[in-house]
Amino acid sequence: ATEHKLWPEIDRVCLEQLHYARLNLGEGGWQLFAEDGEMRMYKREEEVGGMVVDPLKAVHIVKGVTGHEMCHYFFSADVRMDWETTVEQMTVLESIAEDTQVFLQIHKRVWPAAQRDSLFWSHIRKVPNIRDEDGQDFWIVCNHSTEHQDFPANSGKCVRLFLTVCLVCQTFIDPPKDGTDITRDNLTCKITYCSVVNPGGWAPASVLRAVYKREYPKFLKRFTQYVIDQCADKPIMF
């Protein structure tokens, strides 16, 4: 996809998001708002033009799958509707390359706000782990709002929301002591999910914050469980 006009932006946003995801939660005023087993969800309360755009950062540890598998299923258009319960309709507008697609998604309406749609490019890539920490290479999927001449914002019934999302995964292998082949029992996947969603038009701060608090934990728990279930009986994708 390196010759496509979007490539410079895709490359820049992906690397920015990888850096942002790897910043630890020490600085930056993150407040923990949800916990479930190994999943911890943090947010910062921010408003842009009177609209809630609370950045979200979730960290999670999932046994039995690799970062490649986690990112593969997050990126795959074919399975999106199997796990994405808040999307009413999903269309692939453009397949720029094997690793880059442009999506239009109509999201289920969040009462009392108007229904939203999102139009974004989605890119998956492996990033070598150059600091030879004990983890494997990073896999990242980045979703970032973009434009498309056939689908201008706010031209239909939906308010166009703007999003930047990244899923950054790293696999840790604890090999069997007896030198036998690695099995899923030897795999641990560390996940960082970051998201900034600008609702694109006014929505009550109280409603938005309540929806985020309810929907994000459900969303990440459902997605990661979906990947565990899909991978259970399949060969490991390293």
Binding site for ligand 9ML (CB under 6 A): 84, 86-87, 105, 107, 110, 113, 116, 118, 143, 161, 163, 165, 195, 197, 199, 203, 208, 211-212, 215-216, 219
Q: Smallest distance, Å, CB 24 to ligand 9ML?
A: 22
Q: Which of 193, 71, 80, 42 is nearest to 136 (CA)?
A: 71
The rounded distance, in Å, linking the Cα atoms of 106 and 93 is: 13
Nearer to ligand 9ML, 32 or 210 (CB): 210
Q: Smallest distance, Å, CB 200 to ligand 9ML?
A: 8
Handedness of CA 233, 235, 236, 237 (dihedral sign): negative
Nearer to ligand 9ML, 68 or 117 (CB): 117
- Residue 50 φ/ψ, nearest 5 degrees: 80, 5
Q: In the 8-state DSSP scheme, what is residue 26?
A: T
Nearer to ligand 9ML, 17 or 105 (CB): 105
Write out the DSSP string of 31-85.
EEEEEETTEEEEE---EETTEE---EEEEEEEES--HHHHHHHHH-TTTHHHH-T
> Which residue in this structure is represented by tokens 């239009």?
104
Nearer to ligand 9ML, 65 or 159 (CB): 159
Q: Smallest distance, Å, CB 155 to ligand 9ML?
A: 18
Q: Smallest distance, Å, CB 163 to ligand 9ML?
A: 5
**C-beta separation of 190 from 63 below 8 A:** no
Q: Smallest distance, Å, CB 183 to ligand 9ML?
A: 30
Q: Smallest distance, Å, CB 58 to ligand 9ML?
A: 10
Nearer to ligand 9ML, 62 or 187 (CB): 62
The rounded distance, in Å, linking the Cα atoms of 160 and 105 is: 10
Nearer to ligand 9ML, 21 or 110 (CB): 110
For residue 12, give every residue at least 6 positions away whose Cβ sits within 8 Å of its Cβ, in sequence order, or none.
none
Q: How far is CA 33 from CA 46, 121, 213, 223, in A?
A: 15, 29, 7, 19
